[in-house]
């Protein structure tokens, strides 16, 4: 949406005033191929049929996923279902390898995310969960109870408005405690199957299921924003920060990256200050962009309440200035829309590898494998998306991988240092009266933690920004 708006703004304003363009001219401008788009060699423009078939085939397979009662259907349906799943997975995975969006670098990048995420989701739904864990997703019902906080007018007001963290949403309702119960049984009738399949296919955006709840829910302590809360958030918080981020991106591109002939300099030609500033602006753009899309869909589907399709839990749950570590940022300060993907294809394999190497039992925690596995899977997903917009050159697509891999290492180092410091403080009995972990905390810990996580993300985030400059994403965001 933002990228298309930039294309409109970039039209010659003088021409617009003298002769307003027709709808055909506007569409032609928006869909004109970008000469700086560098797709994978051999890919072709995306067709409507190629875009529709993967989710449609996936949906038809989901309709058949819950078990049937009759013996005849039990024998025949699994074969049809597996064939549909294989076709859907193949169609999803081939999307970024066969097609590109000729008029947008950003949409081509997102096409890769959709294809990879969709294909992995199909394998999880039809093969990994049913056959390895004997699990078919069940609906989850959420129960909300008012939650009282510490006394004090300003404290209560701050907590009731603390759904911030650059989601900028300030609910008017009181804070709540949200619990979940799993529905018994699976859909039987065709009507229930059709509804269940649609909800599960759209589960990434927040419908409650036993295997997707972690994708969107960070904690039981949350809020219940209304449609007006979301409108208020968009108008007074999201759009100003989104606009400021785009303005900074455009300023840096026009003043420091763009040269004559439509060519651009590289990210490394920027001063260190401008590299950090561009990285911060891209981070703000991504956070507010996710927030804007999430809130807009929540507003559009709000009239469907109490249907699960209208359920949009908070995207972020901690204000950004309350974060004190890299781990807390990725756990609570960022969205979890890809949580299931990273869990199945990163966290679980990482834990398995650590247990095999160290000899740990299944009941022992494998935190290092968990953290590194999650970040390695994230590194692959984002680097693959970059690969589709840098002409298929692996080296130019490694910026995202370096960023996420470094974050994983930083989380592990952070946890080791944190535990070592707490052990040292307790051993030297700094808090004689308590002698506990809480008592071992110092007044400056929060300050050091904030400086640490912000510095790591901005410094290492330059790898991410460098890749976006190479791909032309920054140029497109700047409206150039």
What string of H, E and C letters represents the secondary structure of the chain? CHHHHHHHHCCCHHHHHHCCCCHHHHHHHHCCCCCCCECCCCCEECCHHHHHHHHHHHHHHHHCCCCCCCHHHHHHHHHHHHHHHHHHHHHHHHHHHHEECCCCHHHHHHHHHHHHHHHHHHHHHHHHHHHHCCCCCCEEEEEEEECCCCCCHHHHHHHHCCCCCCCCCCCCCCCEEEEEEECCCCCCCHHHHHHHHHHHHCHHHCCCECCCHHHHCCCCEECCCCHHHHHHHHHHHHHHHHHHHHHHHHHHHHHHHECHHHCECCHHHCCHHHHHHHHHHHHHHHHHHHHHHHHHHHHHHHHHCCCHHHCCCCCCCCCHHHCCCHHHHHHHHCCCCCHHHHHHHHHHHHHHHHHHHHCCCCCCCCHHHHHHHHHHHHHHHHHHHHHCCECCCCHHHCHHHHHHHHHHHHHHHHHHHHHHHHHHHHHCCCCCCCCCCHHHCCCCHHHHHHHHHHHHHHHHHHHHHHHHHHHCHHHHHCCC
Query: What are 429's two structure tokens?
Result: 């009995």
CA distances from 302 to 145, 152, 200, 206, 230 (A): 20, 32, 18, 13, 11
Q: Which pTM value belongs to this model?
A: 0.84
Which of 9-18, 171-180, 299-308 is predicted most confidently?
Answer: 299-308
Q: Any bridge partners for residue 144, and if so which?
A: 178
- The model's confidence at residue 16, banded by pLDDT at 50, 70 and 90, is very low
Query: What are 250's two structure tokens?
Result: 């455009």
- The model's confidence at residue 157, banded by pLDDT at 50, 70 and 90, is very low
pLDDT score, position 8: 45
Rounded-to-integer distance, Cα 212 and Cα 223, Å: 19
Q: Any bridge partners for residue 145, and if so which?
A: 177
pLDDT score, position 166: 42
pLDDT score, position 165: 36
| Close Cβ partners of 306 (under 8 Å, ≥ 6 residues apart) | none
> Any idea of the CA torsion for 278, 283, 284, 289, to the nearest 10 degrees?
120
Question: What's the rounded mean pLDDT across residues 336-346?
Answer: 89
The percentage of residues in the chain with a pLDDT greater than 70, rounded to a whole number, is 79
pLDDT score, position 306: 75
CB 200 within 8 A of CB 124: no
| Close Cβ partners of 310 (under 8 Å, ≥ 6 residues apart) | 298, 301, 302, 303, 304
pLDDT score, position 150: 45
Q: What are phi and psi of 180, to 5 degrees?
A: -130, 140
Query: What are 406's two structure tokens?
Result: 């470094």
Mean pLDDT of the chain: 82
pLDDT score, position 346: 95
- The model's confidence at residue 205, banded by pLDDT at 50, 70 and 90, is low
- The model's confidence at residue 15, banded by pLDDT at 50, 70 and 90, is very low
| Close Cβ partners of 86 (under 8 Å, ≥ 6 residues apart) | none
pLDDT per residue as tens digits for the range 256-269: 888 765 667 788 99
pLDDT score, position 432: 43
Q: Which residue has the higher pLDDT, 374 or 27?
A: 374
Chain centroid, CA 103 distance in Å? 24
| Close Cβ partners of 217 (under 8 Å, ≥ 6 residues apart) | 178, 180, 313, 336
Chain centroid, CA 63 distance in Å? 26
Rounded-to-integer distance, Cα 156 and Cα 171, Å: 12
- The model's confidence at residue 240, banded by pLDDT at 50, 70 and 90, is very high
Query: What are 199's two structure tokens?
Result: 């909800």
């Amino acid at each position: 949406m933002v990228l298309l708006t930039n294309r409109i703004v970039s039209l010659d304003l003088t021409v617009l005033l003298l002769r307003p363009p027709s709808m055909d001219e506007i569409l032609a401008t928006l869909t004109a191929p970008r000469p700086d788009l560098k797709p994978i060699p051999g890919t072709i423009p995306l067709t409507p049929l190629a875009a529709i078939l993967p989710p449609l085939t996936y949906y038809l397979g989901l309709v058949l996923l819950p078990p049937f009662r009759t013996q005849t259907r039990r024998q025949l349906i699994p074969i049809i279902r597996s064939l549909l799943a294989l076709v859907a997975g193949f169609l999803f995975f081939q999307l970024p390898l066969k097609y590109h969006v000729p008029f947008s670098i950003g949409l081509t990048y997102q096409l890769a995310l959709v294809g990879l995420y969709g294909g992995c989701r199909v394998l999880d739904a039809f093969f990994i969960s049913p056959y390895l864990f004997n699990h078919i997703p069940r609906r989850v019902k959420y129960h909300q109870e008012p939650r009282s906080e510490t006394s004090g007018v300003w404290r209560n007001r701050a907590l009731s408005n603390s759904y911030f963290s650059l989601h900028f949403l300030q609910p008017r309702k009181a804070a709540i405690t949200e619990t979940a119960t799993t529905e018994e049984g699976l859909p039987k009738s065709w009507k229930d199957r059709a509804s269940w399949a649609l909800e599960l296919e759209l589960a990434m955006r927040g419908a409650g299921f036993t295997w997707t709840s972690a994708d969107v829910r960070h904690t039981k302590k949350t809020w219940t924003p209304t449609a007006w809360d979301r409108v208020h958030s968009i108008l007074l918080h999201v759009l100003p920060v989104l606009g400021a981020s785009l303005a900074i991106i455009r300023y840096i591109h026009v003043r420091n990256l763009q040269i004559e002939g439509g060519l651009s300099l590289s990210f490394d030609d920027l001063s260190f200050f401008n590299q950090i500033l561009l990285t911060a602006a891209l981070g703000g753009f991504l956070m507010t962009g996710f927030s804007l899309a999430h809130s807009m869909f929540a507003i559009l589907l709000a009239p469907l309440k109490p249907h699960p399709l209208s359920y949009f839990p908070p995207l972020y749950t901690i204000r950004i200035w309350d974060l004190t570590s890299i781990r807390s940022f990725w756990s609570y300060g960022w969205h979890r829309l890809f949580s299931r993907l990273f869990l199945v294809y990163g966290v679980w394999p990482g834990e398995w590898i650590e247990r095999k190497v160290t000899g740990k039992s299944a009941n022992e925690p494998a935190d290092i494998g968990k953290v590194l596995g999650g970040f390695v899977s994230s590194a692959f997903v984002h680097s693959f998306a970059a690969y589709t917009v840098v002409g298929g050159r692996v080296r130019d697509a490694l910026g995202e991988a370096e960023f996420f891999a470094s974050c994983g290492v930083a989380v592990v180092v952070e946890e080791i240092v944190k535990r070592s410091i707490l052990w040292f403080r307790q051993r030297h009995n700094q808090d004689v009266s308590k002698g506990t972990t809480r008592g071992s905390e110092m007044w400056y810990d929060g300050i050091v933690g904030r400086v640490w996580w912000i510095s790591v993300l901005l410094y290492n985030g330059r790898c991410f920004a460098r890749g976006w400059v190479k791909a032309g994403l920054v140029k497109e965001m700047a409206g150039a």
